[in-house]
Amino acid sequence: MVQERNFMDKHQPGKYWIGFDLGGTKMLATVYDKDLQPLGSKRRRTRGRDNTGVESNRISQTIEKALADADIDLKNVQGIGVGCPGPIDPEKGVVYEAPNLGWQDVPLRKTLEKQFGCPAVLANDVDAGVYGEYRFGAGQSARCVLGVFPGTGIGGGCVYDGKIFRGRDKSCMEIGHVPVMPDGPLCGCGQRGCLEAVAGRLAISAATAQAAYRGAAPHLLREAGTDLADIRSGALAESIEAGDRAVEKIVRAAAAHIGTAIAGVVHLLAPDVVVLGGGLVEAMPKLFVGAVETAAREHLLPSFAVSLKVVPATLGDDSTVLGAAAWAEHVISTAC
């Protein structure tokens, strides 16, 4: 990590860390003490597509407000960790693409280091979330943690021997774009039949909206209607609880697709534990985790199936922001 080390060699260690979660629809900054206990935070919504630098300014403002909330002086901050959606170059600190923000090749680390005068470390947001679960949540003490976070998209991440698993110059583990259905539905990435296109929340919402329109999901129709924007994870869980069997069937089928894709990754990495997170899992953990695990086992060699462990994430919304801060601590402390 040559570029990071050049900056850090000149840096005098401070006492505090900042974690930042740059999600697709919201951003969250949290200030942590040396033991990574939270001291203050600030949350706000992103404004969507932005090519003007306005969103970058809002990131800086959010960090400043988190510092004010924690009553911490910037000069005592040792580093900033950022979890970013989409693929990134962790060495150069560049966000390759963040479609919801309209970003392409944005040098976010350089921007943050110039403004705040301390090292900044970037990670893919799901990688950061999985690292958070590895350090403080459902993946503690594991050698290899595979994380899959189904939501609007389906994110994946892996921590192996204490480090985020990645390619030479980019983040990886894009399990949502593993092809699972030849000539299947069009994915947002432009390809067809990606896992995300058949099992992401948007695909589930579309299928359940059709079921509601046909009269096969009366509770969902009554409470959420057929607008995809209103058929979110909580609405799906309530619909199933109320007895909409068509909705349960659709959700289980999506979970089975995810389990099948996970089986392929398990054969490659043999993780100690598979951690499932995201809105769909949080809304219906027992159903979703069980359906994913059942499907995965059906596609595994016996020796892999017997050791398979699938669990829900435990950190919730804090996984990415805490993981980003913890990863920054790891990278900066190692470099120094």
pLDDT in tens, 267-306: 999 999 999 999 899 999 999 999 999 999 999 999 999 9
Structure tokens at 56: 């970058």
If one counts the domains in the chain, the total is 2
pLDDT digits (tens, 9 = 90+) for 173-213: 999 999 999 889 998 888 999 999 999 999 999 999 999 99
> What pLDDT does residue 300 have?
97
Same-domain status, 178 and 154? yes
Residue 314 pLDDT greater than 90, yes or no: yes
Q: Mean pLDDT lowest for which of 99-113, 161-175, 231-245, 320-334?
A: 99-113
Q: How confident is the model at residue 100 (pLDDT cuts 50, 70, 90)?
A: low
| Rounded Cα gap, residues 112 and 41, in angstroms | 18
Q: What is the domain-level CATH number for residue 8?
A: 3.30.420.40
Question: Measured at the alpha carbon of residue 34, what is the angle toward residues 31 and 36, in degrees to the nearest 5?
Answer: 55
| Model pTM score | 0.90
Task: Provide the 3-class DSSP secondary structure of residue 102.
Answer: coil
Same-domain status, 95 and 179? no
> For the chain, what is the mean pLDDT?
90
What backbone torsions phi and psi does residue 114 show, to the nearest 5 degrees? Answer: -65, -40
Same-domain status, 20 and 152? no
Residue 251 pLDDT greater than 90, yes or no: yes
Task: Domain of residue 110: give its range.
Answer: 2-133+317-335
Report residue 211 CA to chain centroid gap. 29
Same-domain status, 74 and 145? no
What backbone torsions phi and psi does residue 178 show, to the nearest 5 degrees? Answer: -75, 130
| Rounded Cα gap, residues 272 and 61, in angstroms | 40
Query: Which residue matches tokens 């769909």?
Result: 280
Q: How confident is the model at residue 48 (pLDDT cuts 50, 70, 90)?
A: low
| Rounded Cα gap, residues 21 and 26, in angstroms | 8
Q: Mean pLDDT lowest for which of 115-124, 185-194, 262-271?
A: 185-194
Same-domain status, 95 and 165? no
Where on the phi/psi map is residue 270: left (φ > 0), alpha (ψ -120 to 50), or beta? left
More confident residue, 270 or 13: 270
Q: Please state, in angstroms and as integers, the Cα–Cα distance from residue 314 to each residue in 138, 180, 192, 275, following that order.
A: 6, 28, 33, 9
More confident residue, 225 or 7: 225
Same-domain status, 161 and 106? no
Rounded to whole angstroms, the maximal C-alpha distance in the chain is 66
Same-domain status, 159 and 275? yes
- Residue 178: partners with Cβ closer than 8 Å, 6 or more residues away: 194, 195, 261, 264
Same-domain status, 166 and 266? yes
Q: How confident is the model at residue 5 (pLDDT cuts 50, 70, 90)?
A: very low
More confident residue, 101 or 106: 106
Burial class for 110, CB neighbours closer than 10 Å (0-12, 13-18, 19+) = middle
Task: Give the chain's length.
Answer: 336
User: 182: how many CB neighbours lie within 10 A of its CB?
Assistant: 7
Same-domain status, 297 and 211? yes
Structure tokens at 274: 């598979």
What backbone torsions phi and psi does residue 272 show, to the nearest 5 degrees? Answer: -65, -35
* Highest mean pLDDT (candidates 148-157, 161-170, 293-302): 293-302
> What pLDDT does residue 13 have?
46
Same-domain status, 187 and 304? yes
Q: Please state, in angstroms and as integers, the Cα–Cα distance from residue 89 to each residue in 25, 133, 171, 305, following that order.
A: 22, 22, 7, 34
> What pLDDT does residue 49 have?
54
> What pLDDT does residue 336 have?
64
What backbone torsions phi and psi does residue 50 show, to the nearest 5 degrees? Answer: -155, 120
Strands 310-312, 144-150: pairing is: unpaired
Same-domain status, 42 and 189? no
Same-domain status, 121 and 145? no
